[in-house]
Amino acid sequence: MAGDVGSIPELDQKKYDSDEQVKIICLGDSAVGKSKLMERFLMDEYRPQQLSTYALTLYKHTATVGNRTVAVDFWDTAGQERFQSMHPSYYHKAHACIMVFDVQRKITYKNLANWYKELREYRPEIPCCVVANKIDADLKVTQRSFNFGKKQGLPFYFVSAADGTNVVKMFREMIKRAVDYKQNPSDFMDEVMQELENFDLEKKEDNSEADDDGLTAESPDVV
Ligand SMILES: Nc1nc2c(ncn2[C@@H]2O[C@H](COP(=O)(O)OP(=O)(O)OP(=O)(O)O)[C@@H](O)[C@H]2O)c(=O)[nH]1
Ligand SMILES: [Mg+2]
């Protein structure tokens, strides 16, 4: 994801400030099944928007949470995770994170700690879960315990993108948590940014009132 992502309309992240939009990111090593999980969840409505120059795919989904309709953008990378690090704009304004590993490859489980560390540098408080994928390949694996994330209280799911086990359940719960988080952000920086935006709006309103009086913000003080 090189280059100035702010300059392409699909990646204009201001839309995620609106109540009706949430952004959910997916993290994990290459080939753990991130893309297949999203494809499995979206199935029929599967219309990914490929932004190949930026090695990024946006999967768009419309969800109903309570009595509200919410547009969900799932962000998925192709390739950048090989460098074990994501571009900061990937994390920017994300409301939830799905961390995936492959039950058949231990290293992908070990690497969760690195992914989680990087996530928390950018998004200290967003809801996150741990997903053990490919359980269809070895069902016995579900009897083992995978403790990463327990200390942080992260929900854990055994899933299979291949046969669909738990996929819808996991995505629905994460969408709900993303929406809840958005309504009650506990993330200090989120609140600061919101305050600044409100402050900016108030200032603009003040200025327009001044215009009614025949004074503009640029008017020199009358002495
Ligand atoms: N048996 C099994 N194979 C799976 C499952 N999910 C994904 N795979 C296979 O794992 C491989 C990688 O899946 P992807 O979804 O492309 O993985 P990814 O995490 O998006 O990989 P990158 O795009 O390289 O980061 C593919 O060959 C899939 O068919 C699963 O639940 N079970
Ligand atoms: Mg992929």
Per the domain annotation, does 208 fall within a domain?
no
Task: Name the residue with the closest Cα to ligand 1, atom 22.
Answer: 30
pLDDT for 218 equals 40
Q: For residues 80 and 146, what is the distance between their CA atoms, to the nearest angstrom?
A: 26
Q: What string of DSSP letters covers 28-55?
A: --TTSSHHHHHHHHHGGG---EEEGGGT
Give 134 Cα–ligand 1 centroid separation in angstroms. Answer: 8
The domain of 91 spans 13-185
Per the structure, the count of domains in the chain is 1
Give 36 Cα–ligand 1 centroid separation in angstroms. Answer: 6
Entry field: residues in the chain:
223
Give this complex's ipTM: 0.99
Q: For residues 193 and 134, what is the distance between their CA atoms, to the nearest angstrom?
A: 39
Our mutation pick for probing the ligand 1 site, out of 36, 40, 56, counting the most ligand atoms within 8 A of Cβ, is 36
pLDDT digits (tens, 9 = 90+) for 39-92: 999 875 545 555 545 578 888 999 999 889 999 999 998 766 666 678 888 999
Residue 122, domain CATH: 3.40.50.300
Give 32 Cα–ligand 1 centroid separation in angstroms. Answer: 5
Write down the pTM of the prediction.
Answer: 0.81
